[in-house]
């Protein structure tokens, strides 16, 4: 059989198959997938920008905060009503008799001039309480469909509503959607929030 004959046979086959197409159901399924993708893309972009804004705000807050000295805050004034309501303490000295030995000590401390400063008590370092909370994190969930190449970035801890977890597919109790949860947002060198992970603390 010559090559021309083979080509003719193949053309006959191509002509017979010429009208064959995928069933319409395929188009329907693909359009559903397309719409899902677009919806997903929209909220992911929205979430990405919100987190980027939150991260940027947080970064500005920290940068600005590092240049300011902490202000001394005066204690809140005690309301007059409370002062009036508390009975004035009785003069303890007039009620409780001071022993003779103590009277001598009192005389020496008050009446004699101080020649040497009193020794200050030894200062002991304050023992910090042992960290009881243990941090657990989820995996990172990407926030960008197509992220530019990653060169460097920062991990910022922010607080987001629990409904954010649902957006990346994590189960959240319906009644606790508004609860704040900690999250680490990975912000790339271009300032875009690339990924998010959620943090929980366990005792």
Partner 1 sequence: MIATDAALLEQALTGAEDAFTALYRRRQGGVYRFALQMTGSSAIAEDVTQEAFLALILHGTRYDQARGTVASFLYGIARNLVLRRIDRRPWAEMEITEECAGPEDLLEDLTRRESIEHVRQAVLSLPPVFREVIVLCDLQDSSYEEAAAALDCPVGTVRSRLNRGRTMLARKLRGVAGVAGRSIECPKSL
How far, CA to CA in Å, does 8 sit from each of 11, 12, 132?
5, 6, 81
| Candidates 22-30, 78-86, 118-126, 187-195; binding stretch for partner 1 (CB under 8 A) | 22-30
- By CB under 8 A, residue 22 contacts partner 1: yes
47 or 160: whose CB is closer to partner 1? 47
- By CB under 8 A, residue 146 contacts partner 1: yes
How far, in Å, CA of 198 to CA of 185, rounded?
9
Report the half-sphere exposure of 36 (CA within 13 A, side-chain side).
6
16 or 136: whose CB is closer to partner 1? 16
SS3 content of the chain, % helix, strand, coil (to 5): 45, 15, 40
Q: 3-state DSSP call for residue 198?
A: strand
CB of 171 to partner 1, least distance (A): 24
**Which spans of this chain sit near partner 1 (rule: CB under 8 A)?**
1-3, 5-14, 16-17, 20-23, 26-27, 29-31, 33-35, 37-38, 41, 145-146
């Amino acid at each position: 059989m010559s090559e021309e004959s083979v080509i003719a046979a193949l053309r006959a086959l191509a002509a017979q198959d010429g009208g064959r197409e995928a069933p319409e159901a395929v188009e329907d399924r693909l359009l559903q997938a397309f719409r899902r993708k677009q919806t997903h893309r929209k909220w992911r972009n929205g979430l990405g920008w919100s987190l980027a804004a939150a991260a940027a705000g947080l970064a500005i807050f920290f940068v600005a905060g590092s240049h300011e000295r902490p202000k001394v805050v005066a204690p809140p004034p005690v309301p007059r009503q409370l002062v009036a309501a508390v009975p004035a303490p009785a003069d303890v000295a007039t009620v409780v008799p001071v022993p003779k030995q103590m009277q001598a000590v009192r005389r020496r401390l008050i009446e004699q001039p101080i020649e040497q400063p009193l020794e200050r008590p030894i200062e002991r370092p304050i023992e910090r309480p042992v960290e009881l909370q243990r941090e657990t994190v989820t995996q990172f969930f990407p926030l960008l469909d197509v992220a530019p190449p990653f060169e460097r970035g920062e991990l910022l801890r922010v607080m987001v509503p629990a409904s954010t977890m649902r957006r990346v597919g994590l189960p959240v109790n319906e009644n606790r959607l508004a609860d704040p949860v900690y999250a680490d947002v990975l912000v790339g060198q271009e300032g875009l929030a690339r990924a998010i992970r959620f943090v929980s603390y366990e005792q």
